[in-house]
């Protein structure tokens, strides 16, 4: 109980000391002066003092126009149009990685489908999950091969459009192809 009394006394002393610091005597009090009149003009506050009126504005005579010499522009040379060529170069891509990734993704999809059928069904024949995975590998490999063929055909079409066609079309049969 004794500590509570000290807390109350200290709070009262702080309150009394702060109010005593800001206390004013009768001689310190100045008469309250109202703020200048404020008028609103176009979202701007204009404060006009109530003491001295503003000085009148005296008009100023306009300055005489002065002629400025202008230098003649140099002759315009015709600039040839800029020719821009855009070259798109594909980086070499490993076809085996495309096929392998497609086969692995097909196996994952097959396991998910087979597993969901197994767990949603009667939960007999767990070996069927492996069959679904093997089927996914086959389907994924087919998708990878198709993707590689389409990419190669696009590259061939892009290259063949640049060059002229063979003037003498021939049929070639390569039984053995050895690089030198």
In a domain, 89, yes or no: no
Model pLDDT for residues 133-168, shown as the tens digit of each residue: 999 999 999 999 999 888 877 666 666 665 566 666
For residue 120 the two structure tokens come to: 């949603």
Which distant-in-sequence residues (6+ apart) come within 8 Å of 107 by Cβ? Answer: 133, 134, 136, 137, 140
Q: Which SS3 state, helix, strand or coil, does residue 129 take?
A: helix
Tell which wins on pLDDT, 17 or 153.
Answer: 153
Q: Give the separation between CA 107 and CA 12, rounded to whole angstroms.
A: 81
In a domain, 87, yes or no: no
Model pLDDT for residues 38-51, shown as the tens digit of each residue: 554 445 555 666 66
Strand positions, DSSP E, 30-164: 37-41, 44-48
Q: Which residues pair with 40 in a beta bridge?
A: 45
Q: Give the separation between CA 106 and CA 102, rounded to whole angstroms.
A: 6
Please give the pLDDT value at position 79. Answer: 73
pLDDT, mean of residues 10-27: 60
Please give the pLDDT value at position 130. Answer: 95
In a domain, 114, yes or no: yes
In a domain, 143, yes or no: yes
Q: Which residues pair with 104 in a beta bridge?
A: none
Q: Give the separation between CA 133 and CA 112, rounded to whole angstroms.
A: 8
In a domain, 178, yes or no: no
Q: Which domain holds residue 102?
A: 95-159
Strand positions, DSSP E, the chain: 37-41, 44-48
In a domain, 35, yes or no: no
Count how many domains the chain has: 1
In a domain, 102, yes or no: yes
Q: Does the predicted model carry a pTM greater than 0.75?
A: no
pLDDT band at 35 (very low <50, low <70, confident <90, very high): low
Distances 85 to 88, 89, 157, 159 between C-alpha atoms, Å: 10, 13, 19, 16
Q: Which SS3 state, helix, strand or coil, does residue 137 take?
A: helix
pLDDT, mean of residues 100-109: 96
Highest mean pLDDT among 20-29, 55-64, 163-172: 55-64
In a domain, 65, yes or no: no
Model pLDDT for residues 107-125, shown as the tens digit of each residue: 999 999 999 999 998 888 8
């Amino acid at each position: 109980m004794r500590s509570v009394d000290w807390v109350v006394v200290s709070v009262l002393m702080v309150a009394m000391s702060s109010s005593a610091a800001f206390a004013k005597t009768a001689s310190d009090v100045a008469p309250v002066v109202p703020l200048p009149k404020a008028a609103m003009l176009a979202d701007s506050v204009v404060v006009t003092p109530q003491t001295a009126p503003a000085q009148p504005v005296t008009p100023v005579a306009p300055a005489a126009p002065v002629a400025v010499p202008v230098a003649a522009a140099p002759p315009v040379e015709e600039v040839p149009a800029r020719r821009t060529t855009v070259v798109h170069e594909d980086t070499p891509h490993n076809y085996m990685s495309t096929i392998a990734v497609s086969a692995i993704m097909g196996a994952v999809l097959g396991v998910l489908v087979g597993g969901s059928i197994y767990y949603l069904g009667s939960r007999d024949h767990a070996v069927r999950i492996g069959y679904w995975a093997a089927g996914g590998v086959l389907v994924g490999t087919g998708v990878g091969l198709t993707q590689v063929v389409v990419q190669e055909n696009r590259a061939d079409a892009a290259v063949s459009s640049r060059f002229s066609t063979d003037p003498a079309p021939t049929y070639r049969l390569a039984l053995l192809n050895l690089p030198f």
